[in-house]
Amino acid sequence: MTTASLRPRSEPLPLAGFTVGVTAARRAEELGGLLERRGAEVVHAPAIRIVPLADDTELHAVTEQLINHPPDVVVVTTGIGFRGWVEAADGWGLGEMLISALRHATLLSRGPKSRGAVRAAGLTDAWSPPSESSAEVLEHLLAGDLEGVRVAVQLHGEPLPDFVEALGCAGARVLQVPVYRWVPPEDLAPLDRLMGMVLEGGVDAVSFTSAPATASMLRRAGQLGILEPLLQRLRRDVLAACVGPVTAGPLVARDVPTVQPERSRIGALVRTLSETLPARSPRWPVAGHVLELRGHAAVVDGVLHALPPTPMALLRLLAARPGRVVPRAELLSVMPAAGDDEHAVETAVARLRAALETPRLVQTVVKRGYRLALDPGDCR
């Protein structure tokens, strides 16, 4: 049989069969919807919550400080953050005074959305980097004389310690503007459930869209005493997908490999997951068919078959040694409810064959056990 004859007749949606955790608070529904449209099962578990700007006493205090002592330079990092800041100031009766203070400053926009928000407020920015990169903004600032210059940096959800420290070392007096400040969620149960699923192999990937969310999950794991087992799962089995390098920082610092899109955008993150997860899925030529394992499903000749936990566990054990016989006693090890009843293995294998709709994939080896009926040739 040729390799060409073993190619799937069709392909399922790129994320069909996979379960993805979403830790985002802001735009979580958008991210979850994009993942679901590509076939994923989504587990929502916000690792943080956003303090409403109108209730944020810290932002209120910083705003008054800027009004009383206007900055020389203002770095605007996000459009949504800048607009929210101006709206909150309006609610406090400080909107006009804030705009007046900013009008006398040199405004730098990190990208087109930031520039749009600045101009919508009746202000004009002096410069914006083509790369939309904070690093390029910093390079632009450091090219000038910053001794004694008052620089206000509108944070974009993540702290920017390196950015702020570099400006301080150059002589600037830096004031950080903490728009949409993030704190732990009021209800930690969804996050705890997600981490439990990671430990039990119930999710294939966890997505992160902000460094505070990443750090918050790790901090919660430490509180529960499961940090090291969680890190081990993320290092080996569960894909950590981060929207950008800042978001990935807390994981990278703990030697967790991450995948990131070239552009720090939610859509790009979903595309990266859609490419990476299927590429990690093993595929074999078995009994004249192509078998692929995905999360909680098997794909046979391009047709997705969702499997219950026990049949899926049996198939994964068989697939760990494709073509080799796995004894019944060993198969029992992934069926804790069965005890020592080897007859339960026969029942579970029958359920597996029925779910795959291709009984010949799993071959009975009399008095020994079962094997995947692997064909000769290349497999991955």
The domain locations on the chain are: 4-50+185-280, 53-180, 283-372
pLDDT level of residue 339 (50, 70, 90 thresholds): low
As a whole-number percent, the residues of the chain with pLDDT over 70 amount to 94
d(CA 258, CA 248): 7
Closest CA to 319 of 300, 303, 346: 300
Q: Give this prediction's pTM.
A: 0.76
Q: 245-300: per-residue pLDDT in tens?
A: 878 999 999 999 999 999 888 999 999 999 999 999 989 999 999 999 999 999 99
Give the start-end residues of each E strand in 62-211: 73-76, 106-109, 150-154, 173-177, 182-183, 205-208
- Residue 94's pLDDT is what? 96
The CA radius of gyration of the chain, in Å to the nearest whole number, is 26
Domain 53-180 in CATH 3.40.50.1370: no
- Judge whether 53-180 and 283-372 match in fold: no
Domain 283-372 in CATH 1.10.10.10: yes
Least confident of 181-195, 205-219, 337-351: 337-351
Burial 286-314 (b: 16+ CB within 10 A, else e): bbebbbbbbbbbbbbeebbbebeebbbbb
- For the segment 297-326, the average pLDDT, to the nearest whole number, is 92
Burial 151-169 (b: 16+ CB within 10 A, else e): bbbbbbbbebeebbebbee
pLDDT level of residue 51 (50, 70, 90 thresholds): confident
pLDDT level of residue 212 (50, 70, 90 thresholds): confident
- For the segment 191-201, the average pLDDT, to the nearest whole number, is 97
- Residue 157's pLDDT is what? 61
- Residue 158's pLDDT is what? 64
Domain 4-50+185-280 CATH (choose: 2.40.240.20, 3.40.50.10090, 2.170.190.11, 3.40.50.720): 3.40.50.10090
pLDDT level of residue 376 (50, 70, 90 thresholds): low
Q: Residue 238: pLDDT above 80? A: yes
Q: Which amino acid is at 208?
A: F
- Residue 183's pLDDT is what? 85
pLDDT level of residue 380 (50, 70, 90 thresholds): very low
Cα–Cα distance list, 268 to 136, 158, 175, 293 (Å): 21, 19, 32, 25
Q: Residue 325: pLDDT above 60? A: yes
- Residue 182's pLDDT is what? 81
Tell me the three state secondary structure of residue 86: helix
As a whole-number percent, the residues of the chain with pLDDT over 90 amount to 73
- For the segment 206-218, the average pLDDT, to the nearest whole number, is 93
Q: Residue 19: pLDDT above 80? A: yes
Q: Residue 21: pLDDT above 60? A: yes
pLDDT winner (highest mean) among 261-270, 341-350, 370-379:
261-270
Contact 79, 117 (CB under 8 A): yes
